[in-house]
Amino acid sequence: MSLYIAYSTNLRDTTRQADYIFITHPNFASTLQPLITHRQSQGYDVVVADINAVYDQFNAGIVDAEAIRTFFDYAYHSWAAPAPAYALLVGGSNFNPHGRNTAYYGPQQPVYVPTIDLMIDPYQGESAADAYFAAISGNDPLPDIYLGRLPVMSTTDLTTVVNKIIAYEQNPTRGAWQNDILFVADNTDDAGNFEAVSEAIIATYLTSPGWDLRKVYYNPGMVNPPDPYYNTVDLARGAIRTKWSQGVALANYVGHAFLDYWGSTVTDQQWHNNDTPTLYNGAKLPFLISLDCLDGYFDWPNRPSLAETMLAYANGGTVAHWAPTGLGVATGHDVLHKGFYKAINGDGVDFFGGAVTAGRLSLAARGAFPDLVQTFMMFGDPAVRFVTPASPQELAVNLNSTPGGVVGLGSTVTYRIRYANNGSADAADATLNFPLPPGLVNASYTSSGPTITPLSGATYAWNIASIPIGATGIITVQAQVNPALTAAQAPIITTATLRNRWIEPDISNNSARLSLDVLLADRYEADDIAESAGRVPDHDQTTEHDDAVDGVGLGHQRRVQGCRDLRDHFEPDEDRQHHDC
* Confidence check: pLDDT of 538 > 80: no
Rounded distance between C-alpha atoms, residue 539 and residue 428, angstroms: 37
219, 236 contact by CB (below 8 A) = no
* Confidence check: pLDDT of 64 > 70: yes
Domain boundary at 345, 379, 413, which?
Answer: 379
Domain boundary at 351, 379, 407, which?
Answer: 379
Exposed / middle / buried, residue 285 (Cβ in 10 Å: 0-12, 13-18, 19+): buried
441 and 564 fall within a common domain? yes
Give the confidence band of 389 by pLDDT, cuts at 50, 70, 90.
low
Answer whether residue 252 is part of any domain. yes
- pLDDT 10s digits, 4-49: 455 678 999 999 999 999 999 999 999 999 999 999 999 999 999 9
326 and 462 fall within a common domain? no
Rounded distance between C-alpha atoms, residue 73 and residue 65, angstroms: 13
pLDDT of residue 107: 97
The CATH number for 564's domain is: 2.60.40.10
pLDDT of residue 387: 81
Answer whether residue 100 is part of any domain. no
Pick from 216-230, 526-540, 550-564: least confident: 550-564
Give the confidence band of 390 by pLDDT, cuts at 50, 70, 90.
low
Answer whether residue 14 is part of any domain. no
Would you mind telling me the total number of residues written for the chain in this entry? 581
Pick from 84-88, 229-233, 508-512: least confident: 508-512
Please state the pTM of the whole predicted model: 0.72
Give the confidence band of 505 by pLDDT, cuts at 50, 70, 90.
low
Give the confidence band of 135 by pLDDT, cuts at 50, 70, 90.
very high
579, 571 contact by CB (below 8 A) = no
Identity of residue 515: S
Mean pLDDT of 433-459: 93
- Per-residue exposure over 493-508, b if at least 16 CB sit within 10 Å of its own CB, e if not: ebbbbbbbbbbbeebe
Rounded distance between C-alpha atoms, residue 438 and residue 484, angstroms: 10
- pLDDT 10s digits, 175-203: 878 889 999 999 999 999 999 999 999 99
Give the confidence band of 391 by pLDDT, cuts at 50, 70, 90.
low
pLDDT of residue 539: 37
374 and 495 fall within a common domain? no
Give the confidence band of 345 by pLDDT, cuts at 50, 70, 90.
confident
Question: Which 3 state secondary structure label does DSSP give 152?
Answer: coil
486 and 548 fall within a common domain? yes
Pick from 177-181, 235-239, 440-444, 572-576: least confident: 572-576
570 and 442 fall within a common domain? yes
The CATH number for 199's domain is: 3.40.50.1460
356 and 490 fall within a common domain? no
Pick from 154-163, 227-236, 422-431: least confident: 422-431
Answer whether residue 183 is part of any domain. yes
419 and 564 fall within a common domain? yes
Answer whether residue 384 is part of any domain. no
pLDDT of residue 521: 57
511 and 418 fall within a common domain? yes
Nearest of 368, 181, 144 to residue 287 by alpha carbon: 181
Rounded distance between C-alpha atoms, residue 158 and residue 368, angstroms: 36
Helix axes 51-58, 66-78, angle to 10 degrees: 80
Share the mean pLDDT of the chain. 87
352 and 484 fall within a common domain? no
The torsion of the CA quartet 62, 68, 71, 77, rounded to 10 degrees, works out to -150
286, 347 contact by CB (below 8 A) = no
Mean pLDDT of 108-123: 96
What is the CB neighbour count within 10 angstroms for residue 132? 21
* Confidence check: pLDDT of 147 > 60: yes
Answer whether residue 314 is part of any domain. yes
Mean pLDDT of 359-378: 95
Reported in sequence order, the residue ranges of 264-336 that DSSP labels E, i.e. its strands, are 271-272, 287-291, 320-324
| CA Rg value for the chain | 28
Q: Phi first, then psi: what are they for 147, rounded to 5°?
A: -115, 125
Answer whether residue 259 is part of any domain. yes
pLDDT of residue 6: 54
Pick from 11-15, 48-52, 56-60, 548-552: least confident: 548-552
pLDDT of residue 506: 74
Domain boundary at 314, 349, 379, which?
Answer: 379
Pick from 25-39, 206-220, 406-420: least confident: 206-220
Q: How many domains does the chain have?
A: 2
pLDDT of residue 300: 97
Answer whether residue 443 is part of any domain. yes
353 and 426 fall within a common domain? no
Nearest of 164, 165, 158 to residue 31 by alpha carbon: 158
pLDDT of residue 546: 38
Rounded distance between C-alpha atoms, residue 54 and residue 74, angstroms: 11
Pick from 280-289, 343-352, 392-401, 523-532: least confident: 523-532
**Percent of the chain whose pLDDT exceeds 70:** 86
487 and 361 fall within a common domain? no
Domain that holds residue 476: 395-580
Which helix (H) or strand (E) element contains residue 84? none
493, 434 contact by CB (below 8 A) = no
372 and 446 fall within a common domain? no
* Confidence check: pLDDT of 577 > 50: no
- pLDDT 10s digits, 249-281: 999 999 999 999 999 988 899 999 999 999 999
Identity of residue 154: S
